[in-house]
Amino acid sequence: MGKTYSCCSKPPFHDIHEECGIFGVFGHPEAANLAYLGLYALQHRGQEGAGICSSDGKTLHLEKSMGLISDIFNEKRLKRLPGDSAIGHNRYSTAGSSVLKNVQPLLANYALGSIAIAHNGNLVNAEQMRNELETEGAIFQSSSDSEVILHLIARAKSEDPYERITEALKDVRGAFSLVFLRENEMIALRDPFGVRPLAIGKVDDAYVVASETCAFDIINAQYIRDVEPGEMVIINENGIRSIQALKSPRKAFCVFEFIYFSRPDSYIYNHTCVNTIRKNFGKQLAIDSPADADIVIPVPDSGVPAAVGFAEQSGIPFDFGLIRNHYVGRTFIEPKQSIRHFGVKIKLNPVRCLLEGKRVVVVDDSIVRGTTSKKIIKMIREVGGAKEVHMRISSPPTIGPCFYGIDTPTRQELIASTHLVEEIRKYITADSLSYLSISGLRGIVPNPDDYCTACFDNKYPIMFPREKSAQMELSFA
Ligand code: AMP
């Protein structure tokens, strides 16, 4: 289920989120159109605003607006993006920083020409670096982390554009999957830990890069490989070339991409199918926490693959017992005379003929604050007429906020950081509640030591500036 967390509830440094989708194409006559389609497929990664920057070999052209890709771009606007290379960006919606100037790509002129950037991830020392740059006289146009990177590139000394980017990024800490566009080349780069995914593909003779491979399918591109942690991939008229720009101390792929964020039809992290992993989470859950029940239903859409896995493993029939309204917009008017569970009702409704008198297993991917589960369970009993409701969650309890690009509320607001499973069960009024265990999760993802699981174990792989970690009482893996 889509959910927006208000950024007012976060600590001040945590109000800029870069939970996004990025796309790039070099060497295709329809570059802007491909970028449009790629971003269309990546819309789930960000709905606040989007943009495309193209190059005709001499000049970079930028079009961006607030809103959804399909609302922003039409044929006329795409025609204003000439050239055979383009990069694009979908930005996630969070209040406060929801303004056009933060919508990417960001475009700047510097000593070596023009450069545009599209960034997915969150920097943990952006505030500190920004303060330093401002003290030295830099003027910022946006409140986005990514602009810090542009300033650092502009200030770096090297005449070699690749060394310049490397130099700029050497002190930047956090998650950054990046794609840059220059007049005659595209450069893709992933942070040393590889927190956010970034894949390389090919369509005809053109190279493409994208946060997820669902963006390749829509344009008939072939998934080749990922940009490796710390790797810089340079794509220009000479073909494709790679530099290990930043030393990678370890991998820390975000495991929440598998649980919730990526689309199930995508392959991420070295050709791993998201749907298969999600389904296996559900199977494991059924092995570890079986339920005596008549029907398994998912919380759509994110709970679907795990519910299929749970049903397959347990032999309990699967059905769509909750129907999601796919046309719910961002704003709606709540009736004056308050209707119970209105917020959830507008998105989901139980199918009474499936649930009445039944013992129901409800599978969702995660519990954050607990409000969704509580409302859904109430609705399944009151409107659906279920006899028993057994909640199964296909991830471990969420106990740590993410500082690397997934939008989560503060630690205090994460119900599992302050409550035991039995207390959460009571709060959401389930007959039983079980989560996937951390060992269960580790048994399913390939090379389990290569993941960031800080949201489940509080072990943060990328260090924060000292004062921030003290303030947050964080421990580092
Ligand atoms: P809550 O009501 O706070 O417990 O939220 C739980 C619901 O939010 C689940 O249905 C999840 O699918 C969904 N969810 C989990 N993480 C996120 C996220 N980062 N952004 C939006 N929705 C999320």
Each of the 477 residues of the chain gets a pLDDT tens digit; together they read 434 333 222 333 334 445 799 999 999 999 999 999 999 999 999 999 999 999 999 999 999 999 999 999 999 999 999 999 999 999 985 543 668 999 999 999 999 999 999 999 999 999 999 999 999 999 999 988 899 999 999 999 999 999 999 999 999 999 999 999 999 999 999 999 999 999 999 999 999 999 999 999 999 999 999 999 999 999 999 999 999 999 999 999 999 999 999 999 999 999 999 999 999 999 999 999 999 999 999 999 999 999 999 999 999 999 999 999 988 765 455 566 666 667 788 899 999 999 999 999 999 999 999 999 999 999 999 999 999 999 999 999 999 999 999 888 889 999 999 999 999 999 999 999 999 999 999 999 999 999 999 999 999 999 887 666 655 666 666
Buried b (16+ CB within 10 A) or exposed e, 217-236: bbbebebeebbbbbbbbbbb
Instruction: Fold for 21-249, please state it.
Output: Glutamine Phosphoribosylpyrophosphate, subunit 1, domain 1 (3.60.20)
**Ligand 1 atom 22: the closest Cα is on which residue?**
3
Q: Which of 14, 18, 260 to mutate to test the pocket of ligand 1 (most atoms within 8 A of CB)?
A: 260
Same topology for domains 21-249 and 274-326+340-446, yes or no? no
Q: What is the pLDDT of residue 12?
A: 34
pLDDT at 476: 66
Report the atom number in ligand 1 closest to the C-alpha of 365: 12
- Cα(279) to centroid(ligand 1), Å: 18
Domain limits, the chain? 21-249, 274-326+340-446
Tell me, what's the pLDDT at 326? Answer: 87
Q: Which pLDDT does position 97 carry in this prediction?
A: 62
CA of 360 from ligand 1 middle (Å) equals 21
CA distance 242 to 181: 16
Q: How far is the CA of 141 from the centre of ligand 1 (A)?
A: 32
Tell me if 371 CB under 6 Å of ligand 1: yes
290 lines ligand 1 (CB under 6 A): no
Pocket test for ligand 1, best of 366, 408, 429 (most atoms within 8 A of CB): 366
Query: What does each C-alpha distance from 140 to 88, 127, 130 come to in angstroms?
Result: 21, 12, 9
For residues 444 and 286, what is the distance between their CA atoms, to the nearest angstrom?
Answer: 14
CA of 340 to the centre of ligand 1 (A): 20
Told to judge if 8 belongs to the known catalytic residues of this protein, a careful annotator would answer no
- Among 20, 214, 402, 452, the active-site one is 20
* Cα 2 to averaged position of ligand 1 atoms, centre (Å): 7
Distances (CA, A) of 284 to 238, 267, 395: 48, 21, 10
CATH assignment of 274-326+340-446?
A: 3.40.50.2020
Nearest CA to ligand 1 atom 12: 1
Q: Which of 3, 257, 369 has the most ligand 1 atoms within 8 A of CB, as the residue to mutate?
A: 3
Q: How far is the CA of 408 from the centre of ligand 1 (A)?
A: 8
Q: Does residue 6 have its Cβ closer than 6 Å to ligand 1?
A: no
Would you state the structure tokens that stand for residue 69, as one six-digit string? 């890709």
